[in-house]
Amino acid sequence: MQIPSFPEANHPLVKSLSHYGDQELLALFQKNPDAGQYFTAIFCRYSPLVYTLIANTARSPVQADYLFAQTWRHVFYELNGLELPPDPSKKSLQSWLLNVTANCVNTIELPPVEEIHYSLDSAPPPLWCYVERSLGQLSPLQRLMVLMSQTYHWSETRIAAYLQAEGEYISPADVKAQLVEAYRQLETGLPEDISTIYLERNSLVRPVNDDSTRSGTN
């Protein structure tokens, strides 16, 4: 499998951190939870190594990308509590990442290819991690609507019908308004540098479908 390249590695905000050692990047990440460039720099530094290990175990590129993203998601949440000794020969960030990757390879159950909706091109792991963190700030109802809209591509009418069947009385117009607000909150909840790195040219907000222009809506 070909190791993917990540354009964010050449972004000025990421390249400006190339002179920092692993210990310094980790400390900056832990001290600046509202900045995403430090995690992105760690990701860009070690993504080839992690992907190489994963590619040798996954059966397909789709599963490899999914496991790669899940591994970095695990790394993202574990890094906050990671303490490395001053002597890197005892425990380094690289050796820790190797252990985390091996553990994810051995423990994460990969779904069939047809059930995987993740796209590495659309959501590189750093962006995905921070979007997920921002997603956690939405109301449960808004999160469910975003999931149905973005993952399953349901129309506002179908989302409203599902929610009504679950006892949540809401119209398609209300669903549309909630989605617009949810996407706005998702973007404002992202670290500013993550928006700069990943969303300068492409908004996270997706246009909300107008059911009146659709034919054959599910």
User: pLDDT tens across 186-206, in order?
Assistant: 999 999 999 999 987 555 554
Residue pair 108/67 in contact by the 8 Å Cβ criterion? yes
Give the torsion through C-alpha atoms of 150, 156, 160, 163, to 10 deg. 0
For the segment 35-47, the average pLDDT, to the nearest whole number, is 98
Write the CB contacts of 78 (distance below 8 Å, at least 6 apart in sequence). 100
Which option is the CATH number for 136-213: 1.10.3210, 2.30.29, 1.10.3470, 1.10.10? Answer: 1.10.10
Residue range 161-188, pLDDT digits in tens? 999 999 999 999 999 999 999 999 999 9
Give the closest residue to 171 by CA, choosing from 163, 183, 182: 163
CA angle 176, 180, 186 (to 5 degrees): 140
For residues 149, 199, 21 and 94, what is the CA-based torsion angle, rounded to 10 degrees?
A: 30
Give me the mean pLDDT over the 14-28 stretch: 97
CB contact at 8 A, 40 and 197: yes
Separation between Cα atoms, residue 198 and residue 175, nearest integer Å: 27
Residue 209 confidence (pLDDT) = 44
- Domain spans in the chain, listed from the N-terminal domain onward: 7-118, 136-213
Q: Pick the more confident residue, 57 or 165.
A: 165
What is the band of 216 on the pLDDT scale with cuts at 50, 70, 90?
Answer: very low
Single out the residue of 31, 24, 20 nearest to residue 84, CA to CA.
Answer: 24
Looking at 1.10.1740.10, 3.40.50.1580, 1.20.20.10, 1.10.357.10, the CATH number of the domain 7-118 comes to: 1.10.1740.10
- Residue with more model confidence, 156 or 202: 156
User: For position 71, what pLDDT does the model report?
Assistant: 98
Q: What is the CA radius of gyration of the chain?
A: 19
Q: Is the dihedral of CA 133, 138, 139, 142 positive or negative?
A: negative
Query: How far apart are the C-alpha atoms of 135 and 140, rounded to whole Å?
Result: 9
CB neighbour class for 112 (10 Å; exposed up to 12, middle 13-18, buried from 19): exposed
User: Would you state the pLDDT for residue 201?
Assistant: 55
What's the mean pLDDT in 146-155?
91
pTM: 0.86
